Structure formats: C-alpha cells, structure tokens
Structure 1
C-alpha cells in the first residue's frame, strides 16, 4: 500500500500501479502526475463519493478499483477513460449507473453489493464485456440489450429481486459461469435435506487452512456430545455478501449436493456462534492435494492462471476430467449448478485424485422454469469444455485419442447452447475412453 506522503513527495514517479487507502474524501490531484505511467489505480477503502471530471487525463489507465467508498453513482468521467478495461465499485451506495459512465473498451465490470434497481440499456453496447458482477443489488429485471453481449463469459446476478431469467440471456454463446441464487425465481429447493446443526461449543478451532472471497477455512476438531471426535474443516463466512452471492445460498447448495467422491462434502451448519457468524462444517481434505490453478488475473480476465512449469501425464489429466464430469453429473441430478467450475476450485494430487469445492456461486435450477434447466446445465458444460481444453494443453495426448477429445472440447464450447452435450453424455464418453486402456487403473 502506498501513502499520500510518498505521492506528494514525488517518490512514486513512473509506477504503473497505485494503491492508496488513507480515508480520502477528495481525489488527490497529485495522482495526475503519474498520467504517463499509471495503468492500475486502486482507491478502495476510502470515503470518496465522486471522481474528477478530467479523470481521462490518466490516459494509460486500464484498471480502476473504488470499492468500499461512499459513491452513490458511478461517475460519468469514468466513461471518458478510453483505455479502461476493468472497473470496480463494489460495496458502495450506488443507485445509479449512467450510460455515460461506461468506458467503450470495458471487459470487466464489478458493481457487487450496491443499491442498483435498474441498468441502462446501453450496457448491451459494451461488446467487449466478458465479466459482469452484479450480485447483491435490487435489480428487478435485466435489460433486453444484454442479449447482445456475445463475449460475456461470467455473470453474477445473485441476491437481487429478479422474478425471471430471460431465455435470451441463457443463449449467450460464451456464457460459462453464472450465479443467480437468492432471487425470487430461484428459491431454495423444497426438498433440501435436513442439515446437521453443529453447536459452536463442540468445536475446537485450529489453524487457517485457506481463504477465499466468501470465507476463511480453519482446521477444527469436532467433539460430539457422545464423546466421539472428528477432524474437520470449518468455513466461517466473512459477511452477508460476496462477489458470488450470500452464505445462505452457498450453504443450502453445498448441503443439497450431498456426498460424492469428487466433491468436498458438507457435514452440517454451525449454530450458536458467539458473534452470530455463519459457518459450515466440511470434510477435511488430505494435505497432499493442491490447487490445480490460480484464479484469473487482471490480464487473463476470465481464464485461470496455471503455473508455467505444470504438466500432467495424459492419464492424470483424463482422471481429473473423469472426476469433475462425474461430480457435475451428480450435482445437476440434485438440481444444483456449481456456477464457478474453474481450476482454482479444484484440488488434485499427483495420481489424479480430484475434488471440486467452493459452492459460493452455486444455484438451484428454478422450479418454475423447467424449460430452462437444459440451458442452465449446458452453460456449465462450456466451463467444463474450457477446463478440459486447459488440461489437454498441458499433457501429451496420444494420437489415437486426439480427434475424439478435440471434438468433445469443440462440442462443449459450441455457441449453440442447447446443442452442447450434457454431463451424462460427457461422463459416459470419458469413462468409456478410460476403460479402453487410456488409464491402467480406470477413472
């Protein structure tokens, strides 16, 4: 984190990224002295409510973060920044998004956790848009113009007031990651199983194992009332809203998903936390498993970042694909979509044993719109096609399997959503391929 003193003293000359959080109420004019180099400006965690009219003087600016401030509108000066690709105003008080506030080259827009009730029709003119994050607002409808966003890949509209999902939205050719839980049309499934209630006083909380957008995961010891004890993972949620949705939606989906050998299984909900925090008890993951990839970067936008040196054997890659396809087939059969099928949510070991976790973007198939179920499931098939393509690019595929797997990748990602295979077909094809001898021990 940089300081205002450094900025005013000219010590930051030539930097490409400025991170400045200093309870600012006004935009520091000294930032303009960085105009010839500044590409990323992070003003999150201040008290700003507006930006200067001449913000476009930062002519190299590509990324602007203004989360956790006091904005009630997105300043129109943002729209005049011709190089801006990513704009984030998460957790403000934004009620208004003017069409004039939309930069012409926008790829990634974050307006999570605000007070928006309506979106401008001109949002559909942002033809380069790939990621649109709108969870935790007050939207009652989406503009029909979104159907023109042919490059949109990730959409977060959970925890709004939407009464329906437009069919046109579900036919977008590139959409692969969709979260919509917590809207009136997507209420929690009535058949949700009774969750085990785990009293806080039965838990001994240990070290932090990891954390993500929605919460922190600890190692814990569950000492049951009957005297038995079990080592578990405890996820404590950070708040009432994440970039993907709410803790309630995540817990409901995770518990409904049930048990599967390739899913990180949920055990129950934590109750009676002294601070009222929400928590979920999960199966403890073997320490030998590691994350398949890192999350998307500012540059990659919608694609995971893999370690440059990471390679897999074909057997390992195929075993990962088998496990994930089987897990998604199971989830869809329970009426749940994962919503965030990415390598950074997958754990694996050197043999190919694999687990899919993180249900923060999961949603239930809407009970009142059964005609949309196939489209919603096949949106997730595109995410699997991208994952499969990434895996195959990092292994040596035997010549006898190249045509079949290339065709599967293409079918999973074809622009006609309804024509993609479902996970029953995908799982069956991959299992058959494994049984033909691609893996000596099967999937």
Structure 2
C-alpha cells in the first residue's frame, strides 16, 4: 500500500527507499500471516477441546472467533480483561456449561443470556453490574452463580426459577434485601451475602431445607426469621459478624440446640479428617 501511494503521487522513489518499503510490506504481511495462523490454531484447539481460555488477554472486545464456534464451546473463561459488554450473539453458544467473565468492566448483561440453557456455572465477580436481567431465571440448569463485588441494588424475582442452584454468592454489593422468591431455590446449599446493606431476610428462607451455610456478615440485620433454625434442618454454619444482632437473640431462636449440634458435628468431622482451620478456630458465626 505504501509503494502504490508513492507511485500515485508521482514521487520519485530511489531503489534503496523502494527496497525498504517492500521490506516493510513483506514484514507486515508476514506478521499478519503468523497472527492469522495462530488464530486458526487457537480456534482448532478450542473446537477440539470445547474449552476457550482467554484469561489476562487484555481484551476490550468479545472475540468474534469464539462466537463462530457456536455449539462447540462448553467452557469460556475470560477473567481479568477489559470487556465492557457481552454481545447479544452469546446466545449462539448453545452448549456452553461454564461462563466465567470475572474482573472485567461489564455494566450490563444481554437478555440473550437466557438462551444458554446448558449453563451450569456463571461467574461475574468484580465487574460494574447494577442489575441482572429477568432472563437469568431461564437458566434452569444453573448450579453456581457468583456476582460478588459489583454494584447490584436488587436481584430479579425470577431467580426463584433456578431450582438446581446450589451456590449463590452476592457478597459485596448494595443489596438492601433478598427477593422472596429465593425460597424456591430448593437445591441451594450455600448462600453468601456478606458486605451488603440487608436489614430484613425473607421468610421464604425457611423453605431451604438443603441450606448448609448462610453468610450474612457486615449487613444491618437485627433479627432472623424465627423458624430459620428449626426449618432449615441441614443448616450447619451461620456467619453474622458486624450485624446488630446479639448472641442471646440467636440462642433464643426455635431450633437453636439442634443447629448447635449440627455445627459441632461438622467441626468434629473436620478435626477427625485433619482439616486445618483458620486463625479463628471454631468460628461461632456471631460477635460475642
């Protein structure tokens, strides 16, 4: 292109300069050829394994090469990039099971996310999300959802449609409440909502019979649903540090003794298995 430009302007080009121009163009062509070959090899590997790993790639835009793979992709990890959006075309990855886009600059999610009917893991931590789309409730196979360290002020009521959800992490957001529909997430085993502004908990939490761990530290909770300990018969751990609730209140709840027995059995099992504990030892879950 540089050579043609010089000739079009009828500019005299010496043999030495012309040789340099040709060398530059050949070098650029060689680099483009190498890059194209590398992209082709990556695409072939992604298609073969179903795993697309693009962590720490300084990406500002979602690669079109990934979208072109469509049903071949099962895992997509784009952690620690500079993505500001996920394109609508993400819905074409119909067999995607794990989508990890943590540590980016996402402000919103596309409504086509609901088309990912095979999705089991969705990690969107450390972004700039203020809302989650109602279409999230269409991800009926979802087992793990992590959206910590965003700017969420609420969760969609449709989250109650996630009947296979086992782990939900909404810590470090701006939530003032959890939706009543969360009581319909019957498979939920772990709920992490530390570092929010939650004042009251929905009574529907008492329906979560499979819930084992409930983390609510650094909120504004002054009381728990009265039947939480008696109805959540799998509950073994509650973290309530930095909340305006006393140990006396907690101990007076219905089902406290049963909960305490489950908690001790859990730690006894860990000790018997030689599992190392952190510096807090047997954390009571409340500030005493």
Counterpart Cα distance in 2 of 1:6 and 1:186: 58
The structure in which a higher percent of residues are helix is: 2
1:152 to 153, 167, 188: 188
Counterpart Cα distance in 1 of 2:257 and 2:109: 31
Are 1:18 and 2:52 an aligned pair? yes
Cα distance, 1:133–1:141 mapped onto 2, change above 3 Å? same
The alignment partner of 1:61 has SS state of: coil
Counterpart Cα distance in 1 of 2:131 and 2:143: 20
Cα distance, 1:64–1:376 mapped onto 2, change above 3 Å? farther
Query: Is there any run of 5+ residues in structure 1 with no aligned partner, and where?
Result: 188-336, 340-360, 393-443
Question: What TM-score, normalized to structure 2?
Answer: 0.66
Max Rg structure: 2
Q: State the partner residue of 1:107.
A: 143
2:83 to 39, 42, 48: 48
**Could you tell me how far 1:37 is from its partner in structure 2?**
3.1
**Could you tell me how far 1:109 is from its partner in structure 2?**
0.5
How big is the alpha-carbon RMSD for the aligned residues of Structure 1 and Structure 2?
3.4
Per chain length, whose mean CA-contact separation is higher, i.e. which structure has more relative contact order (CA < 8 Å, sep 6+)?
1
Cα distance, 1:59–1:6 mapped onto 2, change above 3 Å? farther
**CA deviations over 1:126-151 (Å, ceiling 9, x no partner):** 11111100000000011111111111
Cα distance, 1:140–1:96 mapped onto 2, change above 3 Å? same
Q: State the partner residue of 1:28.
A: 63
Question: What TM-score, normalized to structure 1?
Answer: 0.44
**CA deviations over 1:332-356 (Å, ceiling 9, x no partner):** xxxxx855xxxxxxxxxxxxxxxxx
Cα distance, 1:44–1:168 mapped onto 2, change above 3 Å? same
Are 1:184 and 2:184 an aligned pair? no
Deviates more, 1:177-186 or 1:129-138: 177-186
Counterpart Cα distance in 1 of 2:40 and 2:260: 49
1:378 to 245, 259, 265: 259
1:134 to 170, 173, 188: 170
**Could you tell me how far 1:24 is from its partner in structure 2?**
1.3
Cα distance, 1:50–1:180 mapped onto 2, change above 3 Å? same
Counterpart Cα distance in 2 of 1:66 and 1:373: 41
**Could you tell me how far 1:94 is from its partner in structure 2?**
0.6
Cα distance, 1:33–1:376 mapped onto 2, change above 3 Å? farther
**CA deviations over 1:190-219 (Å, ceiling 9, x no partner):** xxxxxxxxxxxxxxxxxxxxxxxxxxxxxx
Aligned counterparts, 1:186-225, within 5 A: none
Aligned counterparts, 1:320-339, within 5 A: 339=238
The answer to whether the 8 A contact 1:112-1:134 is kept is yes
Counterpart Cα distance in 2 of 1:380 and 1:75: 45
Deviates more, 1:83-92 or 1:96-105: 96-105
**Could you tell me how far 1:48 is from its partner in structure 2?**
1.1
Are 1:62 and 2:97 an aligned pair? yes
Query: Is there any run of 5+ residues in structure 2 with no aligned partner, and where?
Result: 1-34, 224-235, 274-288
